[in-house]
Amino acid sequence: MKEQYTVNQITQEFSMFLDESNDYLKTINNLEKLNLSKEHLAQYISFMQTAPISIVFVDDAYRVLFTNKNFEQRMRKRQTELIGQSLKVIFPTNFHSTDQEEIWNHVLTHNQWNGSLTYLDKDGQIKKIWLKIKQFKNKNDHATFGIQFFDSGTLNFRAFSENTRSYFDVQTKLPNFNQFSYDINQSIRKRDTKLAGLALIRCQNLSEISMHHSRSTHKLVTNEMVKRIRNVLPRYFYLYRLSREIFALYSSDYNKEDDFKSVVQKIREVLLVPIVLGEQTIFLNVEIGVAFYPNKM
């Protein structure tokens, strides 16, 4: 059943606040362009003031109509610098395009989306951001979206637990395919002419170890693989786990192709050394492919 849009009750004092407040003048001016009634306007402002968390409103073209103070502080920008910008450009999370499309399609269909994003920060620590997106409509059938998001452990997350998107691998604590996709797209968007190297590392028999040995052995072998790779990685070389048996190495911080290939060769060498676990000796079947971009003409 389609969700019914209801209007919150507003008091006389709240109506006076809307009429007299200068703090939200820019917000009101932007929303009035959508020909909102005062009741609907009150609903927007009520939503905005629900908690000391980051809140942003966007129109049906995803242009920013309003940002609250928490959002401004998070972005380290003034409201005047944010209004009119595309949400896809300024939104302070690293959702890649596929997740963005799925979430917005869900919002358009069901009027809201609640969920979380787990990822690794620059220090390798696990972080989680909770999001709540709400679609509002007015009499002219325009849509406006309110977005709440926060990472505070002091708030009640029960209303934000319907969906989740993970950007790291739980076992290895490596960034996963979602993070890889986002990072690569960001690199392409910047149109950086700096040469970047990408290596795909596949351990062919990694998934078979659980069958021939045990799950615990599989976990130990995987962690040992990651440890060996990390031990030979220079700074600004980034390792991802794309799937159960495929890893990726990415960097644009090296002098020439041979430097990148040298790192890949070291990885091959350390992975071909047998892994000894008690009385078990495990040999890894490793395939590595390397590519560089932008391609030389």
Same domain for 145 and 186, yes or no, is no
Q: Are residues 74 and 108 in the same domain?
A: yes
Confidence of residue 7 (pLDDT cuts 50, 70, 90): very low
In a domain, 207, yes or no: yes
Q: Is residue 171 part of a domain?
A: no
Whichever domain contains 276, its CATH number is: 3.30.70.270
- pLDDT (tens digit per residue) in 252-295: 888 789 999 999 999 999 999 999 988 888 999 999 999 987 75
Domain containing 273 equals 177-293
Tell me whether residue 6 is in a domain. no
Query: Tokens for 168?
Result: 């790291």
Within-domain flag for 136 = yes
DSSP 46-114: HHHTSSSSEEEEE-TT-BEEEE-HHHHHHHTS-HHHHTTSBHHHH-SS---HHHHHHHHHHHHHHSEEE
- Per the structure, the count of domains in the chain is 2
Whether 172 is covered by a domain: the verdict is: no
- The two beta strands, 246-251 and 286-293, are unpaired
Task: Mark whether 17 and 129 lie in a shared domain.
Answer: yes
Are 144 and 198 within one domain? no
State mean pLDDT over 203-221. Answer: 86
Residues 63 and 158 in one domain: yes
Q: Which tens digit of pLDDT belongs to each residue from 49-90?
A: 554 678 888 888 888 887 877 788 888 888 788 888 888 777
Residues 127, 149: one domain?
yes
**CATH number for the domain including 108?**
3.30.450.20
The pTM of this model reads 0.66
Token pair 């395939």 in the structure block, residue: 287
Q: What distance in Å separates the CA atoms of residue 87 and residue 89, rounded to the nearest whole number? A: 5
pLDDT in tens, 23-51: 445 555 666 666 667 677 667 666 665 54
How distant, in Å, are the alpha carbons of 158, 161, 176, 220 from that of 167? 21, 17, 6, 22
User: What pLDDT score does 154 carry?
Assistant: 45
Contact call for residues 223 and 211 (beta carbons, < 8 A): no
Mean pLDDT of 215-238: 92
- Are 102 and 193 part of one and the same domain? no
Does residue 2 belong to any structural domain of this protein? no
Same domain, 225 and 245: yes
Query: Is 9's pLDDT higher than 70?
Result: no
Smallest Cα–Cα separation from 117: which of 138, 96, 141?
96
